[in-house]
Structure 1
Amino acid sequence: MFSTNPRLDRAAVLAGVCTLSILMCTCRQPALFRGQAQAEAGGPVPIATAWPWESRAPLLYGHGLQMAVDETNAAGGVLGRPLRVLREDDRESVDEGRLVARRLAQDDDVVAVIGHMQSYVSLPAAAIYDLFGIVHLAPTSTDPRLTQQGYRRLFRMTFTDRETGAQMADFAAERGYDRIAIYYIRNAYGRGLANAFEEQALERGVGIADRQSYDPNAVGGDRALTDILASWRDLNLRAIFIAGEPREAAAMIRAARERAIDVPVLGGDALGTADFVSMGGRAVEGTVLAAAFHPGDERETVRQFSVRFRERYGRLPDTSAALAYDAVRLLAHGMTRAESVDPDRVADALRATAGWRGVTGPVTFTDDGDLVERAIGKVVVRNGQLVWLGDGAEGE
C-alpha cells in the first residue's frame, strides 16, 4: 500500500529513530523478558492487529482476520491455547501508529502484531516491535525499505513495489507496448513503483515516452492533468502505466478517454478495488492491474476460502481479507512448528518455512523477511468487474 502525504515518507523514518531512542532508555532486555513471560504463560495467546479501522471500513481486512482466528480456535487453537485478538486503530498516521506500537510493546503478553496498512506507518512501528521482541507480520506494506533494516522478527506478506513494477513492465514488453507514459503519485509508493517499472521497461527495450507525477493535495490538479494529457496526444503512445490511488487514477483515465487517448492502461496493485472500477466507469474497461489475490483464482485453496468467506459474510473476499487471513494462519503455523509461542522461536520457525500454502500463494521467506519472488497476479476490468487473468502461483 502507499502513503497519501508525500512528506510522511521522510518523517516516518525520523519518527521511528526518535521513538526508538526514548524506548531504549526505559526498557530492560525487553525481547528476552517477553520470551520468558510467554514461556511461562497459559490461557489465550494474545496477538494484536493494527489497522485504520475507521478510515478503511469498506475493506474486508477485519473479516479475513477474524475468520482465520475463529477457524484456528475451532481446530483446537495453537498448542492447545486459543488465539485472542487485540485491535488497535493507527488512523493511517505516523504519530498514532507510533503510539499504538508503544502501547503494544509495553504489554508483555503480546506475542505478535499483524499490521499496519501503510508502509509509512509500518516503518517507524517496526523498529519498536523488533526492539521489544514482538513478531511483526506486515500484510500490505510494500515499501522495500521495510525489510532492509535488519529486523529478525519482521515478515512481509505481500510483494514489494519493486517486484510489482518490474513484473508489470515485463507484462507490457510481452504485449509489444513499445512507447509508454508513466503517471504516478508523488510519494514513496508512486516513485518506487514508477522507478521499478521504468528500469525494467528500459531493460526490456521498451521506450518510456514521458513520465509525470501528481500531488493529490495540490491546488489546480485538474489543470495540470489537462496539460499533461494535451502533451501526450502527440507522443504516439502504445500504453500508459499508473502508479497511484484509485480516485486520481480513475479521473486520469476518464480524462484521457475524453481526449481520444485510447491506448491500453496498466496499473499497480493499489488500483485493484471496487472503488476504482465504480469511479472510472466505462473509461477503465480493459485496464490491467497487478493483484496479490482475487477470488476468481482457480486454485482449490482460493476456491474453498472464497466459498467459506461468502457463506459467512455474504460477499466475496478482497485482497486485504486474504492477506489478513494468511497472516493469522501462517502465524499459527509458525507457533505450532516452533512448539512454542516464544517470539524468537516463532520467528525462527517462520524463516524456515518453505512452500506454505496460503490463499494468496505459496509462502517462503528470504533471510530478510521478504517473500521469495513469485509471479504477481493480474486482473482486468471487464463489464464493470475485476476479472482474474492468472499468476501461475503454485505451492506444495
Structure 2
Amino acid sequence: MTQKNETFKLLLALLATLALIGIGVSWLGNRFNVGGFEGGTSIQPGETGTASNRPRTLRDRFSAGDRLLVTEGATAEKQAAINALANGDYDQAVAELEQHFQDRQNRNDPEALIYLNNARIGNQSSYTIAVAVPVDTSLNPALEILRGVAQAQDEINQAGGINGTPLRVLIVSDDNEPEVVAEVAESLVADSTVLGVVGHFGSEASLAGAEVYDQGGLVMVSPTSTSVQLSSLGSHVFRTVPSDRFTASTLASHMVDDLQEQNAVVYFNSASDYSVSLKNQFITALSTGGGQVVDEIDVSVSGFNARSSLQQADQRGAEVLVLATNTPTLDQALQVIQENRGERPILGGDSLFNPRVLEQGQQDAEGMVVAVPWVISPNFRSPFVAASQSLWGGDVNWRTAMAYDAVQVLAEGLSRNPTRQGVQQTLSNSNFEIEGATGMIRFLASGDRNQPMQLVEIQPGNRSSYGYDFVPVD
C-alpha cells in the first residue's frame, strides 16, 4: 500500500511540473512571438493555409505590408519584414525582404515584391492603388494577378515613378464573395488616398463592387472579369480583358467552321454570373453561326453526375461539349473531361485555362480547345515576357499579363491627372490608347476592352511539369 501511495504522489508531482512548463512556454511564446508573427498563427515549412483559420475581419483584409495575407511558404525574413513595416521601420523591412529574395525559391513571391517596393517608398509622397484578389479562396489565380501588379509597380518605380512620384500598392483579400466585395469597395471609396482599383477576380465579385465604385467616383479596372453585365454598370468600370461576347463568338466560330459540327451541349454554373453570361453569349453566337445548343446542364445542382450527363447529351444528339463553368466548379468540369475520355471535342472558356486541367486531365484532355485573351507563345520576344521570365523565373499566363496592363492603364491616367476624377476622364476619352503587354489597349464607350480572343489547345509537351501544355491553335 505504501509503495502505491508513493507512486501516486510521484505521478501527481510529474503532472504538476509538466503543467508549469507548459504555462512557461506559452508565456514565452506570447512574450517573444516564438515561431509565429503578430496577429496570426505560425505556418510551418511546407504547411499551407491562411494567416488565420477564422474568418478575416474587414480590417484584416487590407495590407500595404503591415499584415501578411499570403502565408503559404512565408519565410522568417518575410514575417520579420511584416513586423518592421507594422512598426514603421522601413529600412529594416527593406533589408529583411531583400534577404527573403536571396533564396531563389522565393523569387516568384509577388506579395513580397509589392511590400518591398512599398517599404522603399517609406514615408515619401506617393500615388496609391489597390488590387483586390481572392487570397484565401483561390490562391493560384490571386498570385497570378499579383505577379502582374507587382511587375508593373516594380518597373514604374525603378523608372522613377509616375512623373517622379512612386506608386504604392494596397493588397485586399476579398474571397471573391459579393458580400465581402461590397464592404471592401465601400472602404476603398472612403479612403481618399486610393486613386484606382485593380479587380476584382470573378464577374460576380466585380458586379458586386461596380455600383459602389461608380457611385463613389473610384475607377475599377478588372483584369479577369468577363460578364457582359459589367458593360452597363457605370462610367467608372473598365476592364483589360475582353467580355464573354468575344469568347463566345470565337468558340462558336471554331466549332462551326473548323470542327464542322452543329450541335453542342453547354455545361455551366447557374450560381455564377460569369458562367451564365458565357453560356448565354455562346448560345446566341452559335445560333447566329448556324449551329444550336441541344442541352444546357447545370453542374451546380445537387447530385450532378458527369457520366449521366454525357448519356443525356448523346440522347440529345450533342456532337461537342462546351464547358462554360467557372473556377469553383472546376472539379465538375474535370469529371466531364475524364468521363468523356476524348470521345467528343471539348471547348472551354478562359476559366479552364488552369494547370489542374493539365495535371488531372492528362490524355483525356488532349485536343481540348480553350479561348483566352492572351497567349505567351507568340510573344516570347516581347519586353514584357522577357522581363517577367527574368523576374519570376518562369512563364506567366494571361491573368498576369492582363493585371500588368490594368496597372499600366491606371498609371497612364495618373500621369495625366492624378485625381480620381482625372483618371476616370482620361480612361473615358475616346482617343485613349496605350501599348500594353497584351497589345494596344483601347476602351469602348462601355469600358470594355476592344480585342479578340485567341484559341489554345491541350497537347503533349514539356513546358509545364505535367506532360501536357496549352499551345496556340494554328
Which TM class, normalised by the smaller chain length? 0.7 to 0.9
CA distance in 1, matches of 2:275, 2:219: 28
Residue-by-residue CA offset, 1:318-374 (whole Å, 9 max, x unaligned): 2221111111112112222x2x201222222222354422222321111121112x3
Alpha carbons 2:149, 2:403 under 8 Å: kept: yes
Give the equivalent residue in structure 2 for 1:25.
none
Cα deviations by residue, 1:17-66 (Å, 9 ceiling, x for unpaired) = xxxxxxxxxxxxxxxxxxxxxxxxx8100111111123222232111111
Residue of structure 1 aligned with 2:136, choices 54, 74, 81: 54
Contact 1:378/1:389 (CA < 8 Å) preserved in 2?
Answer: yes
Determine the structure 2 residue equivalent to 1:331: 410
What is the distance in 2 between the residues matched to 1:297 and 1:181? 31
Q: Does 1:379 pair with 2:456?
A: yes
2-structure distance, mates of 1:153, 1:208 = 35
Number of residues of Structure 1 aligned to a counterpart in Structure 2: 336
2 CA distance for matches of 1:49 and 1:310? Answer: 22
| Residue 234 of structure 1: how far off its partner (Å) | 4.5
Superimposed CA distance per residue, residues 89-128 of structure 1 (whole angstroms, 9 cap, x where no aligned partner):
1111122212211221121111111111122222232222
Mapped pair 1:178 → 2:262 = yes
Identity of aligned residues (%): 27
Q: Does 1:131 align with 2:215?
A: yes
Paired residue type of 1:281: Q
Matching of residue 159 in structure 1 with residue 242 in structure 2: yes
Single out whichever of 45-54 and 186-195 deviates more from structure 2.
186-195
Indicate the SS of the match to 1:111: strand
Judged with a 3 Å threshold, the aligned counterparts in structure 2 of structure 1 residues 331 and 93 are, in CA distance, closer, same or farther, namely same
Amino acid at match of 1:331: L
Conserved 8 A contact 1:247-1:276 = no
2:401 matched to 1:319?
A: no
Match of 1:58, SS? Answer: helix
C-alpha deviation, 1:381, in angstroms: 0.4
CA deviations over 1:162-215 (Å, ceiling 9, x no partner): 221122111211111122222222232222211211211111111333332221
| Secondary structure in 1 matching 2:169 | strand
**Deviation larger for 68-77 or 343-352:** 343-352
Q: Distance in 1 between matches of 2:237 and 2:280?
A: 25
Return the TM-score normalized by structure 1: 0.80
Q: How many angstroms does 1:291 deviate by?
A: 0.5
Counterpart in 2 of 1:200?
285
Q: Output the CA distance in 2 between the equivalents of 1:389 and 1:326.
A: 24
| Among candidates 345, 348, 370, match of residue 422 of structure 2 | 345
Structure 2 partner of 1:297: 378
RCO higher in structure (CA 8 A, sep ≥6): 1
Partner of 1:365: 443
CA distance in 2, matches of 1:344, 1:299: 37
- Contact in 2 for aligned 1:247/1:279 (Cα 8 Å): no
Residues 37-186 of structure 1: pairs in structure 2 closer than 5 A: 43-59=125-141, 60-149=144-233, 151-175=234-258, 176-186=260-270
What is the 5 A alignment of 1:210-249?
210-215=295-300, 218-222=301-305, 225-245=306-326, 246-249=330-333
Conserved? CA contact 1:134–1:343, under 8 Å:
yes
Equivalent of 1:270, from 328, 344, 351? 351
Please say which structure displays the higher CA radius of gyration: 2
Contact (CA 8 Å) 2:401, 2:437: kept in 1 or not? Answer: yes
Amino acid across the alignment from 2:435? R
Which whole-Å CA distance do the structure 1 matches of 2:215 and 2:293 have between them?
43
Q: Specify every segment of 5 or more residues in structure 1 that has no aligned partner in the other structure, as ranges.
A: 1-41, 391-396
Q: TM-score, normalised by structure 2?
A: 0.67
> Is contact 2:198-2:406 (8 Å) kept?
yes
2:140 match: secondary structure: coil
* Cα RMSD for the two superposed structures: 1.9
The aligned amino acid for 1:171 is H
Q: Which residue in 1 is equivalent to 2:84?
A: none
Which AA in structure 1 matches 2:336?
Answer: M
